[in-house]
A = this chain, B = another copy of it.
């Protein structure tokens, strides 16, 4: 393993950040403080964190609707993330984007898309910019198993392969698109099986194991930076919560069995990562506990910060529409 103690602990810290962040969002939502949709990332933390651990600050990421985890994994400030979700001025987007749009361009977080798969071409374009401007940053886009069926993915992968773009297509296969099993929406066994149709490597990886995701991404990043082109990675993961906050009120019938959910939850990515750190002698139980409790405080502070941040003023409505106002 090429990761050292500090890196592994930072990964653990970020996974905890995401987990507690999401738990806070769920609590806030059920209190009625948050009205819009929000899609918890709980259960998938190892994917975002493993992938972003292989990236530099100037590498770009783009995400999806289920995208609280991605910006946090990339190093985004949880205070500003939480403020955004509450629609406050101190949010990443001054409250204009919300849960599905947590961007921080200053550290390569190009934002997410509520329209499924719509950020895949955007990330491909970021990689094109890297190539054209002879920089060596890479772009990585997170998208779901459901998203993989959109034409936007096909077009982007074809272009990226044709032009050897430094882009990583990271499909988070959590088994479902809302209630639709990926077995009923993807016509082959694995999304990564489709890589060969573009002439790029397709890598299937355990998405509950942050280190495995890091390894696959690290190799894809190496390829990308070396000008060898794109990689399609499929991380098998699971969403522990319902599709979206509030949707549990709508989805009454079962679309996944409780046995399946229970089984999947046994492979908690935080537990797995913590166990690896300890069993390999990188960290002690106490050190891990310490990380957890620091993160808990950080999230409490983020909620506090977000709650105290003011709402935008009516006069802010038209700001940010145009670079040169019309």
B-binding residues in A (CB < 8 A): 149-155, 157-159, 161-162, 184-188, 193-194, 196-200
Contacts and interface: CB of A to CB of B under 8 A. Distances in A.
Binding site secondary structure of chain A: helix
Nearest to A188: B199
Contacts of A150: 151, 155
Given A149-B158, A153-B154, A186-B158, A196 B199 contact: no
A142 B173 CA distance: 33
A185 B197 contact: no
Contact of A185 (B149, B152, B162, B184): B162
Q: How many copies does the complex hold?
A: 2
A301 B186 CA distance: 51
A325 to B, nearest CB: 35
B186 A193 contact: no
A241 to B, nearest CB: 27
A188 B184 contact: no
A109 to B, nearest CB: 26
Contacts of A186: 158, 162
A196 to B, nearest CB: 7
25 contacts: A150-B155, A151-B151, A151-B154, A153-B154, A154-B154, A154-B155, A158-B185, A158-B186, A158-B187, A159-B187, A161-B187, A161-B188, A162-B185, A187-B198, A187-B199, A187-B200, A188-B196, A188-B198, A188-B199, A193-B196, A193-B197, A194-B197, A196-B196, A196-B197, A197-B197
Contacts of A197: 188, 193-194, 196-197
A299 to B, nearest CB: 39
Nearest to A157: B187
A193 B150 CA distance: 19
Contacts of A155: 149-151, 154
A197 B158 CA distance: 13
Contacts of A153: 151, 154
A184 B162 contact: yes
Contacts of A157: 187
Nearest to A156: B151
Given A162-B186, A193-B196, 19 more contacts: A149-B155, A150-B151, A151-B151, A151-B152, A153-B154, A154-B154, A154-B155, A158-B186, A158-B187, A159-B187, A161-B187, A162-B185, A187-B199, A188-B197, A188-B198, A188-B199, A193-B197, A194-B197, A197-B197
A213 B156 CA distance: 31
Interface centre among A151, A161, A194 (most CB of B within 10 A): A151
Contacts of A162: 184-187
